[in-house]
Structure 1
């Protein structure tokens, strides 16, 4: 429905392949890109089904189901992306507040390097408030980097019939947990589902392997979202907002081994465009399914906090 030139709602249904999509967009400028991408995805499905029609008489084959699922996943990501972009200004202002709060809380431990990083980040964020196009580009890049890392972790192959056992904390959770698994408040603030936990720690804290394993992937995106994925028997773990890498791909690590230094401070390596302060983002995959890390971590040392995400 359109009113006074502003796009309020767009609905698309493609029932021939049981694909049902509903997209609601408040930002009028983003609707053409979103709908265009949806139409392309649907056309791909339609073309593919035509090519497979002879082989799939009497039903839809597995390949077609995968194509449909990919199209639905792409549409879901477009909706999330738009939700994040709609919160652009709120996210940047949250980052500015977080920088000021960190400086105040660490007044006695604030180094010249911290001051330099903080000031550079503050200047960059102020510029982003005035440069919408650049801010949106950075948000899109961070989302794709996060999704790439999560997808790689989810498909990491572990030993068959193995079960992921109890983990150790990758960093000291003395400040509690700032965002839990599938945190509703986090999604409301940032527009994206939170598929792990956020553990607030000082910038540059030592990050340790949560269990014995092999380093599957080390991803350095510069100022974007940096991560490490470790393959274990029965699953995998993902460590996000890494500021410095201490391991290489293919390296065997043991439970508690140092693997990285944490980041998350806006404007610094590994933080990406969505982080609002120093912390480690931690995800766990068990038996091919993403699970709440708190179900596998010891709870006796944990204090649930209300720190920034």
Structure 2
């Protein structure tokens, strides 16, 4: 079986406050959700009808059991989600101060299981056969995940659509200044690069969106996607096609997870063969819908929800 999408990277439990505008020390109740960027992208794509799977690892604990159940509930294949004895499943807390302040607190000590993905454990045949393969910058932050991620990319050899989500989380790196060579190696094997202005700066040395897009293309990808927050999204293809699309108006409740919804929709649109502007408009709408909701994974929109938002010209 060839999957539409296989993602590889972070997983964990999101514990999000059920009160907005309240600092974490005063929150009294939380909701528990499946989390982790690569995992959320797989969920988002599954919601849009793609056959998806995720390669990651959890703790051998009740939270790990919960994540397997949640993945199956969302229709994401969990066959490559394995336990790591002795390491706890990561937990992430956030604070919710709409519209633009959502501090995150990652509990990934002594080490996150999703960084214990070993090269010899990978199903390289399935990775190469997938229509889309998605990896993240976090996967490069520590061994053995770094070697596994780069090895998977090299084996795939740019077959199909290979997406590198720049996913810059400096707190996951022992030496953040060492990241750029590993990013450059990943870009050499990818066909698509996706990141916000902070992330493209880590990869290319520039924050200016058009210059960063050109630098990403020069680094080897065929499509560069630069997310600019309230300024919208710039997408530039090596063949000259480009799209610069404003965001869909939305009242933001929690901006976390919007980028993952964007990613799942991006995969959907690229596989559907849409023109670049349609791909980005659809992805923007998916992200806006999630931004209007508290949670991440369970907030991922259905095709009808995205179509309704696009028809209305806003998320209502």
Specify if TM > 0.5.
no
**TM-score w.r.t. structure 1 length?**
0.23
Greater C-alpha radius of gyration:
1
